[in-house]
Structure 1
């Protein structure tokens, strides 16, 4: 590098130092690769690290881990309490809140462009000029001229008329702010719906554990009856072995049910937005009354729902905002009228050689009106307007798609609710029949009139019937929540479909 600088200096003595510095800086930029991995198959490590090239671990940063809120209380949480907890703790609500605040500030920023801009400026400086002047003896002497001064001023600029461009920007900002506010409420609705779904799935898992417990108790009774028959000489070892097998299967099913309940609990905690280490007790809704089957939503009901769904409203606001931006792009082709004013004072000192300094102080004010007329910009404004028109067309198509999707969701949710309620009614009848079958088969076996095979089949049928009823009950609650969400009616923790009765 030193030789390079010397060569450059020899070639261009006047600019050698500058070129040498530039060469050094360019070398520093090229040397920045030392901070990147040395090869595609070599691990990256910080400079002060001695990690192996095959160790692709990354340095830990304790600040990233942080700490999330843990909830460990003795109180029991129902659905409404879980929703309130989620609305206070889930990060998505804070994100949506900040976005709404940012959109509101954007409106204020656009409205500020309607007002004049007043700036204060101070310009000061000093200048010295040395001029060789011939003297009477044929030589020269240096004449030094010094000028120094300061000029403070106040300047006012005001865009008086722009053919509605700023108004269009304000309309677009207000529509975006409305969409952000609607999105904030929509985030809460989606959070309520997510917690509700997870809550019902957890309750189903809890019910399955209870069903598995009952199956374990039934298997123990069957095993006790088989052992009693064997001791009395009316049973066989095969029946005892089959009874033990039935008990083992029941215990395995309970282990699986408990594991599923643990997974459902973590899903619910995640939906609430609190730490997975939280420990809370949850109210069961296994005996909650189900809603009645409703007919297919009418066109009027769908129109009412669409008029209050956050996603549809936000999509429509995006259309109106894009239309306003299109008007603003069109106004860019038209003149603009400005008003400006200035008030300034000037304090200047002037000195030549050894003569006394001469000071000058002046003041000035003025008001000006100007018109800016765009003539040629290489097609920039035209391209901007075409882009705004394309954005509007895209927003309109997106709005139509969002509205159609919302209508389809309402119809599907209604069909799912009706099907789930029908499935629950059928599962309830199945459970009643399976209970009678198991009781009859068990009594017959205990009295020596039936076989262990009949008891096993009846027990499996009863277990399946109980699980089918529990799943149909949970599915009906989820379907009812889905219908309420699609209709835009799941708006708080005290909504009818989220309140435990």
Structure 2
């Protein structure tokens, strides 16, 4: 069940990220067209050259290509979502844009607390604990075969008598009967079968214990890794927001100075490219943050982690 939940969450965030990427690509197309208009005006005024115009149109074509690719990613994400849900790929799936999904500000627990929760409540560990208990019981059962088997049985009956005398009179008599049996069954020698059964049961018990320890180590490692991946994703998201803000300011400044003839087309297109990349970066970092939050819950063994919005 947790595998299905986690796969669905990842697919859900992938669709949201793909839709956000489409929105970013559309904004980048408008950005490239703005650059192209600025270059065209300068060419008309004789202040820019034809190669500059070709560079700006190349940027427009590239942004339109990226937009088409972004639409394809949405379809692929929808197909993956359908697989996770177990429905047909053409089933309508309404998933909001990633920008409308709240971002967690934290997990609400430290890594040691999460590890303790995982060791205590993960279903795979609980299943292995049950297996270990069964193996221990099998050892006790194998050792018990060395001892005799004692049995107790009993019966209760009633014996009825009837006889006649004087030819006409009948006398009935009932006599209860009881039986008790005590049995002892003990196989003196079985060709070392019982000894070998004990050894086999102990080996199975030790193997189950080692498997439990291995699963605990893996669980601790998974929680540790997922926790710090979330912390890293949270930091990267904050940096991505700062990068987007700085890129927007840089582009606006370069566009203004280019229109005034104080910067080159290369500087303008570089700022355009940086802003476009920053928009994709914020989308991806947002998706990574949400997915890493779901990964922590999956590693701990919970359906969803409590978090600070």
Give the superposed CA RMSD: 2.8
Post-superposition shift, 1:300? Answer: 5.0
Asked whether the equivalents of residues 189 and 485 of structure 1 are also in contact (C-alpha less than 8 Å), the reply is yes
More strand by share: 1
Aligned match of 2:186: 373
Partner of 1:120: none
Residues 368-407 of structure 1: pairs in structure 2 closer than 5 A: 370-407=183-220
Equivalent-residue separation in structure 1 for 2:147 and 2:77 (angstroms): 62
Give structure 2 stretches of 5+ with no counterpart.
Answer: 156-178
2:94 is paired with a residue whose SS is strand
Which residue does 2:59 correspond to in 1?
A: 246
Give the deviation of 1:232 after TM superposition: 3.0
Contact 1:438 1:459 (C-alpha < 8 Å) held by counterparts: yes
Structure 1 residue aligned with 2:49: 236
Is the Cα contact below 8 Å between 1:223 and 1:244 reproduced in 2?
A: yes
Q: Which residue of 1 aligns with 2:171?
A: none
Conservation of the 8 A alpha-carbon contact between 2:17 and 2:97: no
Q: CA deviation at 1:333?
A: 2.5
**1:190 is the counterpart of 2:190:** no
Q: Which has the higher helix share?
A: 2
Tell me, in whole angstroms, the C-alpha distance in 2 between the residues paired with 1:481 and 1:197. Answer: 8
Q: Which residue of 1 aligns with 2:147?
A: 334
Query: C-alpha distance in 1, partners of 2:102/2:88?
Result: 32
The aligned residue for residue 249 of structure 2 is 436
Q: What TM-score do the two structures reach when normalised by structure 2?
A: 0.83
The runs of 5 or more residues in structure 1 that have no matched partner are 1-187, 343-365
Relative to the length of structure 1, the TM-score reads: 0.53
2: CA distance between counterparts of 1:299 and 1:247? 51
2:227 aligned with 1:414: yes
1:490 aligns with 2:274: no
1:313 aligns with 2:126: yes
Deviation at 1:261, TM superposition (A): 2.4
Paired residue total: 288
Partner of 1:202: 15
User: Where does residue 423 of structure 1 map in the other structure?
Assistant: 236
Alpha-carbon separation, structure 2, partners of 1:382 and 1:339: 27
Partner of 1:266: 79
Structure 2 CA distance for aligned equivalents of residues 247 and 367 of structure 1:
101
Match of 2:164 in 1: none
Matches within 5 A, 1:97-108: none
Name the counterpart of 1:476: 289
Q: State the alpha-carbon separation in 2 of the partners of residues 475 and 312 from structure 1.
A: 28
Structure index of larger Rg:
1
Tell which has more relative contact order, 1 or 2 (C-alpha 8 A, sep 6+): 2
Structure 2: distance between partners of 1:287 and 1:447: 38
CA distance in structure 1 between the partners assigned to 2:306 and 2:126 by the alignment: 24
> Which residue among 26, 33, 39 is the counterpart of 1:220?
33
Question: What is the distance in 1 between the residues matched to 2:88 and 2:139?
Answer: 46
- Cα contact 1:223–1:243 (8 A) shared by 2: yes
CA offsets 1:457-483 (integer angstroms, 9 cap, x no match): 111101111112221111111222222
SS in structure 1 opposite 2:110? Answer: coil
How far apart in 1 are the matches of 2:240 and 2:154?
Answer: 83
Distance 2:28 2:98 in 1: 21
Aligned partner of 2:266 among 444, 450, 453: 453
